Amino acid sequence: MMVAARDASYCRVVLMESTLQFDREYTYAIPQELRGQVLPGSIVEVPFGRGNRCADAYCMALQLNPPDDFYIKPIQALKSDRPVLTADQIELAAMMKERYLCTYGAALRCMTPSTVISVGDRKVRFAMLIDPADAARRIAAGEIDRLGHVRVIQMLLEYETAPTYELQSACQVSPAVLKTLEKKGLISFYRGEIRRELETDSDDHEIVDDFMLNSDQQQAVERICSSMNTARELGTLQECML
């Protein structure tokens, strides 16, 4: 039965990275603030196992009610602002799992764009001024006059902190310049997380016409669909020579 996203309080998910031992669907509660946003094909972050480690998972289906009368852990975050898989791909993954003895995650990753899978937080090196007021005073007094040094300090005065790779690119300086500023007691480094988001749809995408199949392609699609329908009824997948 199809469940409307706004009505669903629970969802079934499979882990993106899993061994065969733990490769099955798990039920999670959808927090109130995410209801209507979590859809089949979405990537979510869930607490998994006794230690509640964070794990990425694919939403396979929505549910109105929990399967049993016990506590259901809630989803921690929605990691894709739209589904990255279609209903057909989810169904195909289940068939691939049975036929090739692979995990759900391995099958679904074959169909998920690599840019989507790589999205997430990553730790990078940041730089910040140790004493912004003193750095500004020294630039004004002419005590710091090297162009690269001035550019870095001015950028950090404006933004307070920045990833080192952005400083090097924007200020056109080498890592050695940042190291020199550190030795002079002007800046310090720390490691922090930087959020990478999925690209959103833009209005300037080229609109293309619907793809028209030629006769051979149409015949191949019909044979594949027929084989899949037979598999649903008989539980066996008929192989086709295309």
Give the pLDDT confidence of 91-128 residue by residue, as tens digits: 989 988 988 889 999 999 888 876 565 555 567 889 99
**Domain end residue (candidates: 86, 117, 148):** 117
Q: What are phi and psi of 95, to 5 degrees?
A: -70, -40
The total of structural domains in the chain comes to 3
Q: Work out the average pLDDT over 210-223.
A: 84
- Distance in angstroms (rounded) separating the CA atoms of residues 101 and 14: 15
In this prediction, residue 227 carries a pLDDT of 78
The boundaries of the domain holding residue 223 are 212-242
Q: What are phi and psi of 187, to 5 degrees?
A: -130, 160
| Selected residue with higher pLDDT from 221 and 132 | 132
Question: Side chain identity at 213, as an amino acid letter?
Answer: L
On whether both 235 and 151 belong to a single domain, the answer is: no
Minimum mean pLDDT among 56-60, 66-70, 156-160: which range?
66-70
Cβ neighbourhood burial of 102 (10 Å; 0-12, 13-18, 19+): middle
> Is pLDDT of 82 > 90?
no
Radius of gyration of the chain, Cα coordinates, nearest whole angstrom: 26
Helices and strands, counts by H and E, the chain:
8, 8
- Distance in angstroms (rounded) separating the CA atoms of residues 230 and 45: 35
Identify whether 4 is part of a domain.
Answer: no
Place of tokens 């090739």: 100
Identify whether 38 is part of a domain.
Answer: yes
- Distance in angstroms (rounded) separating the CA atoms of residues 200 and 239: 39
**Which CATH number covers residue 100?**
3.40.1440.60
Identify whether 202 is part of a domain.
Answer: no
Q: Which two tokens stand for residue 135?
A: 């750095």
On whether both 161 and 222 belong to a single domain, the answer is: no
Identify whether 206 is part of a domain.
Answer: no
Q: Work out the average pLDDT over 139-167.
A: 93
The gap from C-alpha 138 to its chain's centroid, in whole angstroms, comes to 44
> Is pLDDT of 203 > 60?
no
On whether both 216 and 234 belong to a single domain, the answer is: yes
| Selected residue with higher pLDDT from 205 and 52 | 52
The gap from C-alpha 146 to its chain's centroid, in whole angstroms, comes to 41
In this prediction, residue 213 carries a pLDDT of 85
Residue pLDDT, tens place only, 16-44: 988 888 999 999 999 988 888 999 999 99
Is 132 within 8 Å of 94 (Cβ atoms)? no
Is 108 within 8 Å of 89 (Cβ atoms)? yes
On whether both 15 and 85 belong to a single domain, the answer is: yes
Identify whether 203 is part of a domain.
Answer: no
The gap from C-alpha 194 to its chain's centroid, in whole angstroms, comes to 13
Is 14 within 8 Å of 60 (Cβ atoms)? yes
Identify whether 204 is part of a domain.
Answer: no
Identify whether 191 is part of a domain.
Answer: yes
Identify whether 239 is part of a domain.
Answer: yes
First and final C-alpha spacing in the chain = 34
Q: Work out the average pLDDT over 148-174.
A: 93
On whether both 21 and 109 belong to a single domain, the answer is: yes
The gap from C-alpha 38 to its chain's centroid, in whole angstroms, comes to 14
> Is pLDDT of 230 > 90?
no
Residue pLDDT, tens place only, 174-194: 999 999 999 999 999 998 876
